[in-house]
Amino acid sequence: MLQPSSAEIVAFAALFSASVYAFWRRFGPVADIIRRSKPDADFKLRPVGPRVRKFVWEVLLQGKVIRERPLPGIAHAFVFWDSAPSR
């Protein structure tokens, strides 16, 4: 196994730190807004089954997009399905 040089370790640490900083600069204000929001008294996670079914239909199968705008929706679905990582 190859051992990284000191310069590579420093470069990796710098790039990793910059990446974490850039992520937190974008996500930090969103997390702060979520943290300061009032709890929703009537929010319930259950029933999970219909929520999962809706997620699969609207997000994975792109059903809502296809139903509302058939031709652009089908094109969008093909782009979405084609962009899935292959092994």
Q: State how far the Cα of 52 lies from the Cα of 67, in Å rounded to an integer.
A: 19
Output the pTM of the full model.
0.47
8 A C-beta contact, residue 76 and residue 62: yes
> pLDDT tens across 37-71, in order?
888 888 888 899 999 999 999 888 878 878 888 88
